[in-house]
């Protein structure tokens, strides 16, 4: 099998590694890829938002499968173009990717499918937003309706801050926002593969969205993750399939816009049970990396079954009993104003720590051939170990061996879980 993977971050590095490890895979092509991916795949510089260019690349290399990593090409319909050109694709059509691309659409589908989620009101004027904030009460949750690269959501006790974010959302063209009930409880990610009909869940992971230890500071794309979640209810994944993923997949198919790809279910485990915080139309980053590090099933075959309507007959997934911890190394100034162009050293030594792999998130070779930072999130250190404590200590041992001036990382990834300090409200 030849596989084309779209994207250039650590999620795509993990996807490429897992796909290449499948014995049925003879070649992986990545567009555009990154210096880490380049070690495993043929990287080709193509604009991944240009569906025709992507389909042409798939044709040139006669690939058997196209896997779309990030949300932006999904929302612009790259999956549609590749499917029309005859390629099996992991990644929903533009119509189905609205589950991620529009919060109000996601809420409408959840209401139609009777999926448990926060009560929400959609607003297109500041007067509506004011009365919605009054009606729902605090803490206030205000969400930009559209994609906002992790900056769309404000959670605050302050009515002024809530209104300020509402104004910013409404100032955009066709501005629209969602005011929603605050959900209390630990957050988890459950990724569900679907071929449009059948749902195959992966094991859950947890992501750390805030920049600082103890969940202090600004929201980011994600500063770390781990899997499995020994503290979560045993029935979590089965409940999410039954109450959330299967009804959503059924509703999307009923509407004539079947969802084929990875449905990312972000949940809060509240005292009243799991509630959906958000849907995404792709694997999470970095939570996906923690989950993939533990999957033993040949991944390309699983993705091919997803893309070709063959999940119902796919064998049960096999998982390592190891724990996986991902620590993100971010550049100086991330997330507010990331600095790029700083040299990176120590990667070989880090990768020699037993159980550790280093994934490239935002790196490039400069004109002199030196590996430098090229984004806010620069590297993911992924470590597996027989338990969370061992995986954590391997991850942090490797992090210490990497040098990048001004870089920062969280020191408490998976720490509460390791100490047994996470509880689900009853
Ligand atoms: P989203 O982009 O919808 O994932 O939201 C980003 C982050 O904001 C989530 O991971 C939560 O930490 C927080 N958040 C979103 N919605 C809610 C909610 N209804 N209640 C509490 N926190 C929320
Ligand atoms: N880990 C959060 C995201 O991928 O959206």
Tell me, what CATH number does 43's domain have? 3.40.50.20
Is 318 a member of any domain?
no
Task: Give the mean model confidence (pLDDT) for residues 258-266.
Answer: 98
Nearest ligand to the CA atom of 156 = 1
φ, ψ for residue 185, nearest 5 deg: 125, 160
User: Which residue minimizes the CA distance to atom 4 of ligand 1?
Assistant: 278
Same-domain status, 306 and 401: no
φ, ψ for residue 268, nearest 5 deg: -105, 130
Q: How confident is the model at residue 219 (pLDDT cuts 50, 70, 90)?
A: confident
Nearest to 346 by CA among 395, 411, 398: 398
Same-domain status, 75 and 33: yes
Same-domain status, 189 and 305: yes
User: Which residue minimizes the CA distance to atom 4 of ligand 2?
Assistant: 284
C-alpha 353: how far from its chain's center? 26
- CATH number of the domain within which 249 lies: 3.30.470.20
Nearest ligand to the CA atom of 70 = 2
- Show Cβ contacts of residue 78 under 8 Å, excluding neighbours closer than 6 positions: 6, 48, 49, 50, 51, 54, 68, 91
Does residue 182 have its Cβ closer than 6 Å to ligand 1? yes
Q: How far is the CA of 70 from the centre of ligand 2 (A)?
A: 10
- CATH number of the domain within which 126 lies: 3.30.1490.20
Which among 313, 346, 379 is the end of a domain? 313
Q: How confident is the model at residue 405 (pLDDT cuts 50, 70, 90)?
A: very high
pLDDT given for residue 148 in this prediction: 76
Strand partners, 154: 142
CA distance 265 to 284: 9
CA distance 115 to 106: 10
356-372 b/e with 16+ CB inside 10 Å = b? bbbbbbbbbeeeeeebb
Same-domain status, 298 and 279: yes
Is 149 a member of any domain?
yes
Q: Which of 106, 147, 153 to mutate to test the pocket of ligand 1 (most atoms within 8 A of CB)?
A: 153
Q: How far is the CA of 166 from the centre of ligand 1 (A)?
A: 15
Nearest ligand to the CA atom of 288 = 2
Is 44 a member of any domain?
yes
Q: How many CA atoms lie within 13 A of 100 on its CB side?
A: 28
Same-domain status, 167 and 272: no
Q: How far is the CA of 392 from the centre of ligand 2 (A)?
A: 20
Q: How confident is the model at residue 404 (pLDDT cuts 50, 70, 90)?
A: very high
- Show Cβ contacts of residue 227 under 8 Å, excluding neighbours closer than 6 positions: 203, 204, 205, 206, 287, 290, 291, 293, 294, 323, 324
CA distance 327 to 123: 37
User: Which residue minimizes the CA distance to atom 3 of ligand 2?
Assistant: 284
Which pair of structure tokens corresponds to residue 130?
Answer: 């004011």
Q: For the chain, how long is the longest CA-to-CA vector? A: 59
- Show Cβ contacts of residue 22 under 8 Å, excluding neighbours closer than 6 positions: 1, 298, 299, 300, 301
Does residue 377 have its Cβ closer than 6 Å to ligand 1? no
Q: Which of 287, 376, 377 to mutate to test the pocket of ligand 2 (most atoms within 8 A of CB)?
A: 287
State the total domains in the chain. 4
- What is the domain extent for residue 360? 323-419
CA distance 171 to 179: 16
pLDDT tens for residues 120-171? 999 999 999 999 999 999 899 999 988 876 678 899 999 999 999 999 999 8
Is 255 a member of any domain?
yes
For the CA atoms of 50, 55, 60, 61, the dihedral, rounded to the nearest 10 degrees, stands at 110
Lowest mean pLDDT segment, chosen from 30-39, 170-179, 193-202: 170-179
pLDDT given for residue 172 in this prediction: 86
Is 96 a member of any domain?
no
pLDDT given for residue 174 in this prediction: 85
pLDDT given for residue 426 in this prediction: 54
Is 73 a member of any domain?
yes
- CATH number of the domain within which 412 lies: 3.90.600.10
Which among 180, 209, 230 is the end of a domain? 180
Q: How far is the CA of 380 from the centre of ligand 1 (A)?
A: 23
Task: Give the mean model confidence (pLDDT) for residues 6-33.
Answer: 98
Q: With pLDDT > 90 as the criterion, what percentage of the chain qualifies?
A: 94
Is 106 a member of any domain?
no
Task: Give the mean model confidence (pLDDT) for residues 55-59.
Answer: 98
Q: Is 110 left (phi over 0), alpha (psi -120 to 50) or beta?
A: alpha
- Atom from ligand 2 closest to the CA of residue 284: 4
Nearest ligand to the CA atom of 225 = 2
- Atom from ligand 2 closest to the CA of residue 280: 5
- Atom from ligand 2 closest to the CA of residue 285: 4
User: Mean pLDDT score of the chain, rounded to an integer?
Assistant: 96
């Amino acid at each position: 099998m030849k596989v084309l993977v779209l994207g250039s971050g650590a999620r795509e590095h993990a996807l490429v590694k897992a796909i290449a490890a499948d014995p049925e895979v003879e070649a992986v092509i990545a567009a555009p890829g990154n210096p880490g991916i380049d070690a495993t795949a043929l990287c080709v510089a193509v604009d991944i938002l240009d569906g025709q260019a992507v389909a042409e690349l798939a044709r040139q290399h006669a690939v058997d499968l196209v896997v779309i990593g990030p949300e932006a090409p999904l929302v612009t319909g790259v999956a549609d173009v590749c499917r029309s050109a005859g390629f099996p694709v992991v990644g929903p059509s533009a119509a189905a990717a609205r589950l991620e691309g529009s919060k109000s659409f996601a809420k409408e589908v959840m209401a139609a499918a009777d999926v448990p989620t926060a009560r929400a009101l959609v607003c297109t004027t500041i007067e509506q937003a004011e009365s919605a904030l009054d009606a729902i009460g605090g803490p206030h949750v205000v969400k930009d309706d559209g994609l906002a690269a992790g900056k769309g959501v404000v959670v605050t006790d302050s009515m002024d801050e809530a209104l300020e974010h509402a104004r910013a959302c409404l100032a955009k063209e066709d501005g629209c926002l969602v005011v929603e009930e605050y959900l209390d409880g630990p957050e988890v990610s459950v990724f569900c593969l679907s071929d449009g009909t059948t749902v195959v869940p992966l094991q859950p992971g947890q992501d750390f969205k805030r920049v600082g230890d103890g969940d202090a500071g600004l929201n980011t794309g994600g500063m770390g993750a781990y899997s499995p979640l020994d503290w979560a209810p045993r029935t979590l994944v089965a409940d999410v399939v039954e109450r959330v993923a299967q009804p959503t997949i059924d509703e999307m198919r009923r509407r004539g816009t079947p969802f084929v790809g990875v449905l990312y279910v972000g949940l809060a485990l509240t005292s009243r049970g799991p509630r959906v915080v958000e849907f995404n139309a792709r694997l999470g980053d970095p939570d996906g990396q923690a989950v993939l590090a533990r999957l033993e099933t040949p991944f390309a075959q699983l993705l091919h079954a997803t893309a070709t309507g063959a999940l119902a007959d796919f064998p049960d997934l096999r998982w390592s009993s190891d724990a996986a911890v991902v620590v993100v190394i971010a550049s100086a100034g991330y997330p507010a104003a990331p600095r790029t162009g700083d040299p990176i050293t120590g990667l070989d030594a880090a990768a020699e720590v037993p159980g550790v792999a280093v994934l490239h998130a935002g790196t490039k070779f400069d004109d002199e051939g030196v590996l430098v930072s090229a984004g806010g999130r620069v590297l993911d250190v992924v470590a597996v170990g027989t338990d969370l404590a061992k995986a954590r200590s391997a991850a942090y041992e490797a992090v210490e061996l990497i040098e990048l001036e001004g870089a920062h990382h969280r020191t408490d990834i998976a720490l509460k879980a390791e100490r047994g300090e996470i509880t689900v409200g009853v």
